Amino acid sequence: MRMLLPRGPCRALAPNAARHLSAALASTSHLRLKEQPASQVQSHVRHASTDKVRPRTAVFFPGQGVHKVGMLTPWLEAFPATATPIIQEIDHIVGFKLSDVIQNGPGKVLNLTPNAQPAIMATSILILRILEQEFGFRVSERADFTLGHSLGEFAALVASGFLEFEDSLSMVQKRAKAMAAATAAAAKEYGGEYGMVAIVSEPEYMPSLINAIHEFVGYSSAGSKAESAEDRSPIEQVLIANINSKNQIVLSGNIERIKTLVAHVRQFLGHDPRAVRLNSDSPFHSPIMKPAVAVMHNILAGKSRVRGKEDDDIVTWPGTVPCISNVTARPFESKAELKDLLARQCLETVRWWDSIKYLDQEQKVRRWVGIGPGKVGRNLVGKEVGMRGRDTVKGGGVWAITDPSEIDEVLRGLEETEYLAADEE
């Protein structure tokens, strides 16, 4: 594989990063993973002559809330020749200068769901493309799984080869508009303020906290929101949007109703969880999002918009790497299931904690690489698997590439943990 060295201000970084990755890729270039159904979990890659195995590796992408004005600047400065045409492609796909909104704001405009969601997803893929073109990084060769937190699932599906970037970004844009419209319709018809609140508690209290929420709202939120809450007005709805970790969940719905619920928990459970209002203008992963599910089903039933692929299904099956569904916390098992779960994902609970536990405990993933803006994803993963950076005991690590300055550390960490003796697993 020909290495493409970085250009521009990052030139001092490039030789080290390229050398580290070149050594690792040279030893595995003959082991390119073949396409297979996503239900067939990939085995460790074994080195033929040394009886070594590459630790299982997951690449993950961030979701809503990690955006900030100017987040493209470091990438444009470090890799102008590579980043500029990708940014032009992004603007072409969405039909307006989204890059200007990302770069110049103002923040209240970037924060709007129809801008924030495409901006986050596009920035994540921009970083991935730079890794591919400048450093020869290939997800199909380096990873055994991909996953993304909520919105990040769309970037994960691109990285896994199930969706084309153009189709995925266009889908995210239409989905975001549908979600914002659903929120506006609920507010107009029923009144009230809607949003999301993170609840942070001690791990030992979390099961009773979740049970108390289910009792308070009168139904479980997992896997059946469309039916279980459809007979309730939005102003009465509060649901668990995310189960992020052993001590954090996110509630979604009417803000006053959430405040009442938190007061109820503090009064009757005997502890005082911390409640943090999130920077979200919509109650994602709640029944209010049901109209967006129909929009997504319609899009996913259609064809690709990529030139030359207009007669192809929008979803490619199989992909190149298994991708974990937010809804089931397991790999997508078929094209039909992928379409159904991806459409429902904006309404259902994000089972992030279950996804990490599945990969860590059942699939023995030992290396985790976050790609995209913000460090929230890395912190959530690192806390759950007990690693940050390289771990000499577990033979793996948790890293994130959110800025060009982090590339060298991540690629060096991957090289240094590239093989484990077979008996270490």
Is there a shared CATH topology between the 8-29+45-181+294-424 domain and the 189-289 domain? no
In the prediction, which pLDDT does 267 show? 82
Q: What pTM, to 2 d.p., does this model score?
A: 0.86
342 and 300 Cβ atoms separated by less than 8 Å: yes
Neighbours of 257 (CB within 10 A): 20
Residues belonging to the chain: 425
Torsion angle of the four alpha carbons 88, 94, 97, 102, in this order, in degrees rounded to the nearest 10: -90
- CA–CA gap between residue 331 and residue 144 (Å, rounded): 11
Which among 241, 103, 253, 96 has a CA at the least distance from the CA of 173?
96
In the prediction, which pLDDT does 222 show? 46
Q: Tens of pLDDT along the chain (425 residues)?
A: 334 334 333 433 444 444 444 443 333 333 333 334 444 444 444 444 445 688 999 999 999 889 999 999 999 999 999 999 999 999 999 999 999 999 999 999 999 999 999 999 999 999 999 999 999 999 999 999 999 999 999 999 999 999 999 999 999 999 999 999 999 999 999 998 999 999 999 999 888 888 888 887 775 544 444 455 556 677 677 889 999 999 999 999 999 999 998 888 888 777 788 999 998 889 999 889 999 999 999 999 999 999 999 999 999 999 999 999 999 999 999 999 999 999 999 999 999 999 999 999 999 999 999 999 998 888 889 989 999 889 888 889 999 999 999 999 999 999 999 986 433 44
In the prediction, which pLDDT does 359 show? 98
In the prediction, which pLDDT does 287 show? 87
Burial 401-419 (b: 16+ CB within 10 A, else e): bbebebbbbbbbbbbebbb
The structure tokens listed for 214 are 């289910």
DSSP 44-76: PPEETTTTEEPPEEEEEE--TT---TTTTHHHH
In the prediction, which pLDDT does 311 show? 97
- CA–CA gap between residue 269 and residue 216 (Å, rounded): 12
Domain positions in the chain: 8-29+45-181+294-424, 189-289
8-29+45-181+294-424 has which fold? Malonyl-Coenzyme A Acyl Carrier Protein; domain 2 (3.40.366)
262 and 277 Cβ atoms separated by less than 8 Å: no
* H-helix or E-strand spanning residue 197: strand 194-200
Burial bucket for residue 197 (CB in 10 Å: 0-12, 13-18, 19+): buried
In the prediction, which pLDDT does 420 show? 66
DSSP 142-183: H-SEEEESTTHHHHHHHHTTSS-HHHHHHHHHHHHHHHHHHH
pLDDT in tens, 285-322: 988 999 999 999 999 999 999 999 999 999 999 999 99
In the prediction, which pLDDT does 231 show? 60
In the prediction, which pLDDT does 219 show? 58
Q: Which CATH number fits domain 189-289: 3.30.70.250, 3.20.20.70, 3.90.550.10, 3.10.20.740?
A: 3.30.70.250
78 and 8 Cβ atoms separated by less than 8 Å: yes
Burial 16-50 (b: 16+ CB within 10 A, else e): ebbbbbbebbebbeeeebeeeebeeebebbebeee
C-alpha to C-alpha distances, 323 to 259, 334, 370, nearest whole angstrom:
36, 11, 14
11, HSE (Cβ side, Cα atoms, 13 Å):
4
In the prediction, which pLDDT does 229 show? 53
* Cα 330–Cα 332–Cα 334 angle in degrees, nearest 5: 145
